[in-house]
Amino acid sequence: MTEASIGTRVLEAQATQATLCVGIDPHAATLDSWGLPDDASGAESFGKALRDAVIAAGVSVVKPQVALFERMGLSGLRVLSQLMSELREAGIGVIADVKRGDIGSSLQGYADAWLRPGSDFEADAMTAVAYQGLGSLRPAFDLAAENGKTVFVLSATSNPEGADIQQATTDSGNTVAGEILTGAQALVGASPTSRGSVGVVIGATVNHTTWGIDAEAAPDIPILAPGFGHQGVSIEQAPRLFGTALGRVFVTASRSVAGDSLEGLDTRMTEHLKAVADATV
């Protein structure tokens, strides 16, 4: 029997608090501050330290930034594959932050790589881009629904370069960001068995009103919310940002957890968990 996806589990929990998602991002600057080499061996040591800390603290979801392993070539991808496997074996949900998007067989290839059971990079969820239209992601949505996975589609991102496009108004009167959110809800409404397999990404720094987003109006959509901590948004602000949708939110923090060294990592992890537990609606 296929296990419930991380998206389904967060929906069914009907919680009043968010879920902490710890980013695993081996930036060159982070590895340097940790005293690690900027190569696959450094990423491996960094990843293992984060792995041990999330397991010890009881964190249930992590999000490795694939690009930061991919930049190291085949050796970096091998480190990523092993890390993801070890985390999943320990019962930790893994969201592969790959931001893939295409059409037809190309999109199917991306879905097979990151969502198909038994693949080298099997994750519990992946991020995706719907620039070619939300329907172009159907192969990933279908594979996710069949195998207890989740696809988080970019709706509103916190980078300033995205504002013009994401706030642009479509023929329906929605912003592009809002169209992705309402479109995701419509997909699930038309196919209830896909509930939990389709989610969206909404950055913590985003002004929901300006972006035309109403998270509370999409009750069947789990939300991946990066940008807490290092980007200047505190976890304490999460209830104000997401309102009654908070229980469907994966509050993501990366560099604020990793810090500048291995020293104090367990403490930072515990502090982030406590902040999420305290931030309720």
Q: What 3-state DSSP class applies to 93?
A: strand
Lookup: tokens for 127: 């991020």
Cβ atoms of 244 and 216 closer than 8 Å: yes
Half-sphere exposure of 261 toward its Cβ, with a 13 Å CA cutoff?
A: 3
- In sequence order, the 6+-apart residues with CB closer than 8 A to the CB of 252 are 21, 22, 23, 63, 204, 224, 225, 226, 227, 228
| Amino acid occupying residue 62 | V
- In sequence order, the 6+-apart residues with CB closer than 8 A to the CB of 155 are 166, 177, 178, 180, 181, 184, 200, 201, 202, 213
Q: Which residue has the tokens 């068995």?
A: 193
Cβ atoms of 32 and 260 closer than 8 Å: no
Distance from C-alpha of 28 to C-alpha of 80, rounded to nearest angstrom: 16
48 a catalytic residue:
no
Tell me the C-alpha to C-alpha distance, in Å, between residue 71 and each of 26, 75, 83, 123, 217. Answer: 10, 10, 16, 19, 39
Catalytic residue among 48, 99, 149, 274: 99
| CA triple 192-197-85, angle to 5 deg | 150
Cβ atoms of 67 and 36 closer than 8 Å: no
Residues taking part in catalysis: 99
